[in-house]
Amino acid sequence: MTPYFLIDADKIEQNLKVLHGVMERTGCSILLAQKCFSCYALYPLIGKYLSGATASGLFEARLCHEEMPGKQNHVFSPAFREGDFDELIQICDHIVFNSPRQLHLFGCRAKEAGLQVGLRINPECSTQEGHAIYDPCAPGSRLGTTIEVFDAMPQDDFDLLDGLHFHTLCEQNSDDLETTLNAVEERFGKYLPRMKWINFGGGHHITRADYDIPRLERLITHMSRQYGLHVILEPGEAVALNAGTLHATVLEIQPKGADGISNVILDTSAACHMPDVIEMPYLPPLIEPVGHNVYRFGGPTCLSGDVIGVYSIERELHEGDELVFDDMAIYSMVKTNTFNGMPLPDIYIRKNGNVELWKHFDYSDFKCRV
Ligand SMILES: *Cc1c(COP(=O)(O)O)cnc(C)c1O
C-alpha cells in the first residue's frame, strides 16, 4: 500500500561496482556515508565492494558495527559527548575531530584504544553556488579547522594526528574536487608529509553519468605519490544514486485555481517523506511522460508549504492513480518524520526481479516518538 519506498539493490550493486573500480585502480578506500543511506538490509552487499562505512555519531557507528561487521568503521562529529565516547572507541577504528579543542579533550584516549586519529580541516574554498546550507566553507562555518587555528595548535596535540579530513562538496564533479585540493595543498601542504592518510569527504557524484572518473583517479594518485598519503573517500549519494523510488496515490484533484493549475493531494508528503524537497530545495524527478496537464502535487498535512512541486505530464490524473518519484533512496528514508501523524512509508527492496517488504511502519511508530 502507498506510500512506500522501493529500493533497487541491483542498481546499488551497479553503483558499487563503479566505486570498487576506483578503489582497485588507485588503491584508495571508499566508505558509505550512512547519514545518506542507512538501509542496513543492503550493508552485506555494500560491504562486499566498499571498505566500510562512516558515521556521524554513536548510533550510525553502532549500525555499521552490527550490520557491516569486520569492515572499517569511521566516525566524525562536530563535538563528541563524554557519555558516548567509551563505546565509540570500542567499535570504531578511525575517529575524526572537528577542532583542536576536541582533539585535545579526546585524542589521547582514542589513540590509546588503537584508533587512527584525524582532524577535519576547512580549506576555506567554496566551490558550490546556490546551496549555502551545504557549504561547510561558507563564512561563519562551524565545520572544520582553518589554517589559522591549525597553525596555533600545541605540538602535543598535533603529534596525535594520523590524518586529515575535509568535506566541502555536494553533488559535485571532480573539477571542483581539484579546485578544493589545490586549496588544501596551498594551505595545509606543509603538514601533509607528516600524515598517513587524507579523507576527501563526500559530495563526489561518482556514479552520475557525466562524472569525470579519470580526473578523480589522477587526483587520488597525485596525493598518494606527492605526500605518501592513503586516500579515503566517503560518498553517500554516489552509493545509492538513482536506486530508489517513492510511490504515492492521488487522493484528490482540486479544480483549476486562478493560476490555471490543479492542486493534487497525494498520500505522501514533502514535509514528512522527502524533506529535502523543502530544505534544499529541489524538484524531485517524477516518472511520467511530459505533456500539457499541469498539476501541483502536495501532501495531506496542514503545512501550506507541503508542496512537492508543479509538473506538466501527459496523462490526465484521476483519484486512485499511482505516481512514482525517482531517485528517492538518498537522504529520504533517513529523514522521514511523522509530523501531523503521517504514516511512514513502508520500505520494499527489489533484488534480481523479486520485490520483498523490508520494513512496515504503523501507528506504533508514531506513538512511540511523541
Ligand atoms: C554528508 C557527508 C558525507 C556524504 O556526502 P554525500 O553528499 O552524500 O556524498 C560524507 N562526509 C561527511 C563528513 C558528510 O557530512
The residue behind cell 501507528 is 363
User: CB within 6 Å of ligand 1 — which residues?
Assistant: 33, 35-36, 76, 167, 170, 201-203, 234-238
Q: What percent of the chain has pLDDT over 90?
A: 98
Rg (CA), the chain: 22
Mean pLDDT over residues 60-69, rounded? 98
Mean pLDDT over residues 17-30, rounded? 98
- Ligand 1 atom closest to the Cα of residue 234 is 10
Interatomic CA distance for residues 345 and 324, integer angstroms: 13
Mean pLDDT over residues 360-368, rounded? 98
Is the pLDDT assigned to residue 137 strictly greater than 80? yes
pLDDT per residue over 217-255, tens digit each? 999 999 999 999 999 999 999 999 999 999 999 999 999
The ranges of the chain annotated as CATH 3.20.20.10 are 10-239
Tell me which amino acid residue 328 is: M
Characterize the bridge pairing of strands 244-256 and 163-165: unpaired
Return mean pLDDT, the chain: 97
- Predicted confidence band at 342 (pLDDT cuts at 50, 70, 90)? very high
Nearest-CA residue for ligand 1 atom 1 is 202
The answer to whether residues 91 and 73 touch, using CB atoms and an 8 Å cutoff, is yes
pLDDT per residue over 172-215, tens digit each? 999 999 999 999 999 999 999 999 999 999 999 999 999 999 99
Angle, alpha carbons 44-48-52 (nearest 5°): 80
- Ligand 1 atom closest to the Cα of residue 96 is 13
Under CATH, domain 244-328+336-369 is a member of which superfamily?
Lyase, Ornithine Decarboxylase; Chain A, domain 1 (2.40.37.10)
- Predicted confidence band at 343 (pLDDT cuts at 50, 70, 90)? very high
Q: How far is the CA of 191 from the centre of ligand 1 (A)?
A: 24
Is the pLDDT assigned to residue 132 strictly greater than 90? no
pLDDT per residue over 270-325, tens digit each? 999 999 999 999 999 999 999 999 999 999 999 999 999 999 999 999 999 999 99
Is the pLDDT assigned to residue 77 strictly greater than 90? yes
Nearest-CA residue for ligand 1 atom 7 is 203
- Predicted confidence band at 130 (pLDDT cuts at 50, 70, 90)? confident
Full-model pTM? 0.97
The answer to whether residues 213 and 220 touch, using CB atoms and an 8 Å cutoff, is no
The ranges of the chain annotated as CATH 2.40.37.10 are 244-328+336-369
Give me the pLDDT at residue 133, please. 85
Give kind and range of the element (H or E) at residue 143. Answer: none
The residue behind cell 524537497 is 277
Give me the pLDDT at residue 76, please. 98
Nearest-CA residue for ligand 1 atom 14 is 202
Give me the pLDDT at residue 216, please. 98
β-sheet bridge partners, residue 313 = 290
Statement: 10-239 belongs to CATH 3.30.1230.10: no
C-alpha cell at 353: 526481479
